[in-house]
A and B are shown apart, each in its own frame.
Chain A
Amino acid sequence: MDRRATFDNLWLAGALVAPQILLVIVFFYWPTMQALYWAFSTQPPFGGTNQWVGWQNFQQIFADAVYWNSVRVSIIFAALSTALSIGMALLLALMIDRQLAGHKAYRFVYFWPYAIAAPAVGLAFRFIFAPDAGFVSAINQLAPNLWNPALKGWDAMILIVIANSWKMMAYNFIFFLAALQSIPRGLIEAAAMDGSGVLRRARDIQIPLLAPTLFFLLVINITESFVDSFGIIDITTGGGPARATDLMVFKIYSDGFKGLDYSMAAAQSIVLMLLVIGLTFVQFRYVEKRVHYA
């Protein structure tokens, strides 16, 4: 970051960064400190200042079966939607990269889902998968309640996994395609001249070279599914039925704003924050080692 020619008006330099630094302190660091303070204290039942209670709030959430349920469903949701969206995106990117007729038109449409707001995605899939309307409930003509996300926990989980994967598939597709297109053409051509077919080239050249992108997307998808799933859940299942889709981020929201239990919400926030920090570190380490083929 060292350059020879720089300006030396330090007042100006400070004034230029001041607005963003102020926003970061006020809306990021201060609330994080506040969350830490709340997580280690409780509010007395009759008001007054918070009392320091040490690890008590954390002990309480870790002893709570409802909390562990939210951890469990978060992991199930993360694993299923990451696998589904990455798998689909990789397949589509490999197909588009073959550049057969019409590939540009297909590619164009594959981007679209990522532009759509999570609650709009949620509502669209809530309709398609509704127990009494839409399309999927057509199978209920075979047997009543064969499909009913309002009553069956797994049906609700499938609904939010598919909605989330649909949106993330577009995001992953963009990255896979960019990575595929940065593989030197000569490499593929040389392999073709040596007589390796399309599948062989995909297996032995393209997919191994995609490994860094794949790893990056794994981390991003897991993080997003922990953090960004609120919009879809809030408008489809609301955490139900019977907490079957009560993901960690949704539970923080309902404990904090519906239950008004700031200390419990804050303790859960801290746990989720540590998870995100851990995942981001993994991602940073990868970014450093990242290989470019272009």
Chain B
Amino acid sequence: MRDAGMIERAPLLNALTHVLMIAGLLIAAFPIYVVFIASTHDLPTVNRVPMPLWPGEHLVQNYTTVWNKSDFGAKMINSLIVATGVTIGKITLAALTAFSIVFFRYRARMLIFWAIFITLMLPLEVRIVPTYAVAADVAEPLRWLVWLFGFELGIAPINLLNTYTGLILPLVATATGTFLYRQFFLTIPDTLVEAARMDGAGPLRFFREHLLPLSRNNMAALATIMFVYAWNQYLWPLLITTDARMATATMQLQKIVPGPLFGQPPVWNEAMAATLLVMVPPLLVVIFMQGAFVRGLVATDK
């Protein structure tokens, strides 16, 4: 107890601090509470201004309607597949890349590190149109790569639109994850590597038996922030899925409400039920993995 331990009287300031903390709590929680309350009322009640702040009796009905009308279960499963795939992919690639550039000695490793690090400056949103073109035929850059090495190869077009691969693969490369793993691997003492080699362990065994168990905290931190990041993806799935069977829960929100602000208002009670369904999984991750989540955020610094 920092202040309390300091035998310091500031009753007025303490009262003000409590008021501000409660105000902060209201600001942080009110929108989430409103979403929940709105999802428990029938349509006339939810459209009342201002909406009542106590729960209604139509919770089950609203959620059943949303769940069945837009096949939300399937969308939640798609989101779960994508989020899990992206998380596992990012952790695997980050660990393997960092292992290579920290524990092997070769000239190109700094070049490789920077080639990955620079992608931080190329967020999906600014290269969205050409990335979509790549997803429509991923063989195009491959043909070009092969040509660069002096070969001419007819690779048949590979279309990733409306596939899990297309939803996952473009999001898997990770500069922050690689950076985090590199920082962690750099703290591993040389003596550990030497001891492992003395025991006759090759690089892969060293990776599996020493590095992976040691990096468990790192992995948890990375996994929580990456899962939340991947579940919350919106623009990318919106673009590359036209087949309703491949839609994710987050992008489904756009399908549930009519166009932006103008024209007819959304069916608010159902829209809010869908919103809550989309909110809950990442919120649970943050609630149960709070420590790892905060550590991951602060350590990667984006």
Contacts and interface: CB of A to CB of B under 8 A. Distances in A.
Interface stretch (A41-49, A58-66, A106-114): A106-114
Contact of B3 (A26, A98, A113, A137): A98
A253 B282 CA distance: 26
Interface residues of A, number: 117
B203 A32 contact: no
Contact of A20 (B31, B97, B266, B301): B97
Contacts of B234: 117-119, 230-231, 234
Contacts of B298: 174-175, 178
B77 interface: no
Interface residues of B, number: 120
Nearest to B271: A123
Given A240-B260, A276-B126, A120 B278 contact: yes
B50 A134 contact: yes
B149 interface: no
Contacts of B228: 115
Given A178-B298, A266-B129, A115 B283 contact: yes
A235 B260 contact: yes
Given A21-B115, A199-B13, A231-B235, A115 B282 contact: yes
B1 A123 contact: no
A125 interface: yes
B4 A166 contact: no
A149 to B, nearest CB: 6
A144 B287 CA distance: 42
The interface residues of chain A, by DSSP majority, are classed as helix
Nearest to A133: B47
A28 B34 contact: no
B153 interface: no
B190 A34 contact: no
B49 A24 contact: no
Contacts of A109: 25, 28-29
Nearest to A170: B28
B172 A6 contact: no
Interface of B: 1-4, 6, 8, 10, 13-14, 17-18, 20-22, 24-25, 27-29, 31-32, 34-35, 38, 46-51, 93-94, 96-97, 99-106, 109-110, 112, 115-116, 119-123, 125-134, 138, 140-142, 144-145, 169-170, 172-174, 178, 186, 190-191, 193-194, 197, 202-204, 206, 228, 231-232, 234-235, 238-239, 250-251, 253-254, 257, 259-262, 265-266, 268, 271-272, 275, 278-279, 282-283, 285-287, 290, 293-294, 297-298, 301-302
Given A110-B28, A123-B257, A123-B272, 6 more contacts: A32-B127, A135-B49, A170-B28, A249-B126, A269-B126, A277-B121
27 contacts: A6-B104, A13-B104, A17-B96, A20-B93, A28-B122, A30-B141, A31-B133, A31-B134, A113-B31, A114-B286, A116-B283, A117-B232, A117-B278, A123-B271, A124-B34, A124-B272, A124-B275, A127-B35, A133-B46, A133-B265, A133-B268, A138-B50, A237-B261, A241-B262, A257-B239, A269-B127, A276-B126
